[in-house]
Amino acid sequence: MKILVIGGGGREHALAWKLKNDSRQPDLFCAPGNGGTSLFCTNLDIKAEDLAGLLAWAKENKPDLTVVGPEAPLCAGVTDLFQAAGLRVFGPCQAAARLEGSKQFSKEVMEAAGVPTAKAATFTDAAAAKNYVRQQGVPIVVKADGLAAGKGVTVALTLAEAEAAIDEALVKRAFGAAGNTVLVEEFLDGEEASILALLDGEHVVLLASSQDHKRIGDGDTGPNTGGMGAYSPAPVVTADLLPFIREEVFGRMLRELRRRNITYKGLLYAGLMLTKNGPKVLEFNCRFGDPETQAVLVRWDGDMIPALEACIDGTLTESLVRWRPEASVCVVLAAGGYPGHYAKGDAICGLDVANALSGVTVFHAGTAQKDGAVVTTGGRVLGVTAVGADLAAAVKHAYEATDKIQFQNMQFRKDIAWRALQREQK
């Protein structure tokens, strides 16, 4: 079996790793891949956004399955292109991927479906948006409508912060076309959690719960990032919440999309705020999360390929997904300066030692192989992932492995899973 994985980050390394361990032992190709995928995949010199290049390669090489990692090619319609060429691809069509590509569209669908979410208003004029903020009061959330690489959301605690975020998008055009429209959204208080679900157009299978850590600093301080770590399961997602999330969040969205003649097949990710009034959706993503994928996939027990194929074929069942009882933790090692300006090309030491530890897998994100060494190429460099008998053990193993790795100005959070550990102590 031949599989193409599109993307080159930590999520794609984790997907490729899981696929490689499938009982069918597929030949794997990664476009463009990274320094970690190069160890067991054939990396292709094709960017994830190069849809013409990807399609040309796929037509010539005829992969049995293509798995799309990042949101940009999905929103650009890579699934539609591949399907039109008779290729099997895991990932939603372009119309369905708008749930991530446009926060305005996503909010509209949620409201029509009756999915619990924050109240929001949409603006293209900065003065009107600022006037709305003054009427509503703070705290309040300002979101760029389109894809902004995880940097288009501001939780504003003061009026000045909200107005600055509005100006950033609508006046300074910091996010380009992605910021031509902004949503000004009600602030929701509670604890966040991530629920990833497989969908085949009709059926929903929830994956194991997880929780991401967005801010750069310990104690959730500093600027937002693409994610500095994750753990699974998230104890805040109690068993009694799962039927509600399956039906009132994913089930309602599937039905409303079908009403609009949109069939969602692939992975749908709900970022939830667990408020005192129940779960509410902060956002939907049309793909596996990063770094949640790293934490979730190391707990997936058995083959993943049958579940992905069932999503394509409309034959998805709960029996295709099983979970190991252990907990898992992913600690992201980032370049100094991230999420701002950071250096590239620094040599990474200690990877073999860390990977040799029991229960540890180091997923590469921003890395490349150069002259026999692994070097940094991105802001988020590695995802040190470990399983343990419980969450405390998984945290211990992950940080033991982290201590074995060094590169120039390496930074990481030292408190991944702190909320869950605090809850356990209580």
Contact between 29 and 58 under an 8 Å Cβ cutoff? The reply is no
Total Cβ atoms within 10 A of residue 105: 15
Single-letter amino acid code for the residue at 334: A
Q: pTM, whole model, 2 decimals?
A: 0.95
Contact between 342 and 410 under an 8 Å Cβ cutoff? The reply is no
> Residue for token digits 């994928």?
293
Contacts 24+ apart (CB under 8 A), 210-216: 210/234, 210/289, 210/292, 210/295, 210/296, 211/236, 211/417, 211/419, 211/420, 212/289, 212/291, 212/292, 213/413, 213/416, 216/334, 216/338, 216/339, 216/411, 216/413
* Mean pLDDT, the chain cut into blocks of 10 residues (426 residues total): 98 98 97 97 98 98 98 97 98 98 95 96 95 95 86 89 94 91 94 97 98 94 92 96 97 97 98 95 96 98 98 98 98 96 96 97 97 95 98 98 98 96 82
Enumerate domains of the chain plus CATH numbers: 2-91 (3.40.50.20), 119-186 (3.30.1490.20), 191-320 (3.30.470.20), 327-425 (3.90.600.10)
Task: Give the pLDDT score at 293.
Answer: 98
Contact between 384 and 355 under an 8 Å Cβ cutoff? The reply is no
Task: Give the pLDDT score at 150.
Answer: 67
